[in-house]
Amino acid sequence: MNLDSKTIYKIADLARIHIEEEDVEQLIPEMNKILSFMEKLNELDTTNVEPLVYMNDATNVWREDEIKQEISTTDGLKNAAKHNERFFMVPKIIEK
């Protein structure tokens, strides 16, 4: 596997992580190492093997349409980095 710096930036962008330019040189070999390790999985022949998504065979795990109000606005806002009495506050989103 050979990642280039463009891919590093793309992955960082998708993960909403800011990376410094000087760190990219170091990230390339580190990421490559992880990917090469994972590539080992490709040695296995998975033809005709359905992807495993769920840990059991359960279907229709559902509930009836009945309201249960379990937390208050105050409780809900408590863990937010920034909030006022009623709203979560986040850095201004310029895009409109």
- 61, 26 Cβ separation under 8 angstroms: no
Interacting stretch for other proteins, rule CB under 8 A, among 24-32, 38-46, 85-93?
Answer: 85-93
Largest CA distance in the chain: 56
Using CB under 8 A, pick the residue from 29, 38, 39, 82 that binds other proteins.
82
Estimate to the nearest angstrom the gap between the alpha carbon of 37 and the chain centroid.
Answer: 21
- Binding status of residue 76 toward other proteins by CB under 8 A: yes
Report how far apart the first and last C-alpha atoms of the chain are (Å, whole number).
Answer: 39
Q: Please tell me the count of residues contacting other proteins according to CB under 8 A.
A: 39
Nearest by Cα to 1 from 25, 31, 41:
31
Spatial CB neighbours of 89, under 8 Å, sequence gap ≥ 6: 80, 82, 83
Q: Which of residues 23-42 bind other proteins (CB under 8 A)?
A: none
Our finding on whether 1 is near other proteins (CB under 8 A) is: no
Q: Which of 16, 40 has the CB closer to other proteins?
A: 16
Interface with other proteins by CB under 8 A: which residues?
A: 10, 13-14, 16, 51, 53-56, 58-71, 73, 76-77, 79, 82, 84, 86-93, 95-96
